[in-house]
Structure 1
């Protein structure tokens, strides 16, 4: 057998794929079908009007089937620059934007411009596992920043972790996996810390469009010098149900964009054009539709909070709830990875354990569980809560 890359071999298996293996060969009755709350992705296709626009591109724009610009279609970069400028304030230009094959690739590209083997990146815990995986397989140390009971990272605690090897701090807000939204002053404090320390602040706002508060969630882009420190990541996958088309974005200084272009040209050459045309169409036509989608998600978050009392009486705690996620602390004397498997067999619920979002051996992760409720309606949320209440380890 030829050798394997040791960094890749040491990286954990994809958690969502691992969880799917827990249900292989199992049969769930019609009276209690499986409720899958393991993955935070839309399960419905894009709206019909968008699909018609995509079909028109497929049929009538021959160039959409060829290689496109490495950094994305100019029209989409311009439209997204206008969208970000309106949403956050400040002035974002098309040259600040690269379109990527999903937001995961935007993160990978950002890290590739910042760090290499032996460097360090600070990740608040619970962390988004794909961020940790990319750092690990790249030979970059993920430095965990523990969060308190409110699951909000502390800039002072982060400052104590910065070393000569640190290249960036990563924030995800609204957070995956916890659903927690970071206050503007917390985000600004991390920006100030990063700037003072000469490192980057990477802020992943994949779930921006499902924030509970209207308006700008922070003031980073109001600062005319934002690009000396901030790298912003965005995803069209959740907003427009374009998960299969892989359309994300990275926002940064034009000087860094030259390095981003090297990475993207090597990995994908260019982002797929059909999804880019769809994202451009969505930015121009789907504001009202997206507003209604946001209201649905907020209603599901409210249902999760409102119906939690029976679980709370049994010792469960709702640690975070927002965007697509509820993050729970369970009351049992078993680690959450064992609990998650037991929930499949006893409750027909597929959820991800906190151990998938934390360093190995982390005691908090062993007590926690992520429920991605965005793909089940209020009736489904009530059923999940009912089954959890009836669970007996």
Structure 2
């Protein structure tokens, strides 16, 4: 079988790999599987949105047809208006495109920026799908190790830039680390990218669950923001529309004209029903979404409290959907994660899926860490998580 070398060298999708660890495993009735591996809502959209989706499917004939490649004009306008208000900036509908999920927004952005032989600066720990796309596209991920606080440093990034560097990628709130990047950090990276003539891609998939009140940064307040900034967003997390695949990209109209070429050859247009559902959510579910944020923040607090009671475990970052922790075992994290399936009926992802291994020049953090996606565990489930981790730490079977 012939396979392109870059694709063949790309690791298997981590979530799918982790699911294979539980295939054929019989979990005890008194210790069912607690799956904390995937960063996605486990529940369907709220009932009012499901009813709206049904009504759209039944009555809106246009929802079943091809639509504009860059997305529903009404949704683009709503995103522009909401972003302008939320960030105290100026975002126009022509600077917004809708994509088939946020992953596609990232791939479209990279398609306009980089090709084989180019490189993109990627902080570690990284979001694995970002690294996968760079690798299979022949674009070298230039790894920027984040500090002990999981924050990347712009001065360190500057040393990595050469004449083939095309962009810097940041994710805030961070996946997998959970940390929320300070506005000053994002501004420093913007200034660096602008001074070197490269793009700054900021993935804000989890912006709706940021613990800070108000705008998390002022990048959109810069009247020339679109000469450097490319912002990515996902409707999946806010409105539980994961299966409908709706994301967004904010960039200059000139860049979006190039994005349009790429999208037209891939999906032609975003999911029409999903776009209308996202728009309905933006128009009608602000109070509901505020409640979802409060619930996620309560779970975050429970995670922080839980690790305080487990001194052998070190919480490195916690926010949005994620806790990123240093485990206490004398074994690499991929072995630890597999062992937790057997010993504790817990499915989490190892740090080896999010950063370079020691053999690849890494610092060893990848082998020492685990990502726990707690958004799918209610407070009772989080209590169960810590009961099981405590048992494993004590050496209980």
TM-score normalised per structure 1: 0.98
Structure 2 match to 1:232? 231
Structure 1 match to 2:334? 337
1:359 aligns with 2:360: no
The Cα of 1:102 is off from its aligned counterpart by: 0.2
Q: Report the number of matched residues.
A: 390
| Separation in 2, partners of 1:247, 1:130 | 17
The Cα of 1:288 is off from its aligned counterpart by: 0.5
Structure 2 match to 1:84? 83
- CA offsets 1:52-89 (integer angstroms, 9 cap, x no match): 11111111111111111100000100011111111111
Structure 2 match to 1:194? 193
| Separation in 1, partners of 2:242, 2:170 | 22
Structure 1 match to 2:344? 347
Structure 2 match to 1:327? 324
Structure 2 match to 1:167? 166
Structure 2 match to 1:132? 131
Q: Is the 2:357–2:367 Cα contact (8 Å) retained in structure 1?
A: no
1:262 aligns with 2:261: yes
The Cα of 1:316 is off from its aligned counterpart by: 1.1
Structure 2 match to 1:61? 60
| Separation in 1, partners of 2:208, 2:130 | 21
SS in structure 2 opposite 1:311?
coil
Structure 2 match to 1:372? 373
TM-score normalised per structure 2: 0.97
| Separation in 1, partners of 2:177, 2:306 | 18
Q: Is the 1:310–1:389 Cα contact (8 Å) retained in structure 2?
A: no
Structure 1 match to 2:100? 101
Structure 2: runs of 5+ lacking an equivalent:
none
| Separation in 2, partners of 1:329, 1:308 | 11
| Separation in 2, partners of 1:241, 1:86 | 23
Q: CA RMSD in A?
A: 0.8
How do 1:1-20 residues align onto structure 2 when only pairs under 5 Å count? 1=1, 3-20=2-19
The Cα of 1:260 is off from its aligned counterpart by: 0.3
SS in structure 2 opposite 1:31?
coil
Structure 2 match to 1:176? 175
The Cα of 1:360 is off from its aligned counterpart by: 3.3
Structure 1: runs of 5+ lacking an equivalent:
none
The Cα of 1:297 is off from its aligned counterpart by: 0.1
The Cα of 1:349 is off from its aligned counterpart by: 0.2
Structure 2 match to 1:28? 27
The Cα of 1:386 is off from its aligned counterpart by: 1.4
SS in structure 2 opposite 1:150?
coil
The Cα of 1:333 is off from its aligned counterpart by: 1.1
| Separation in 2, partners of 1:257, 1:247 | 17
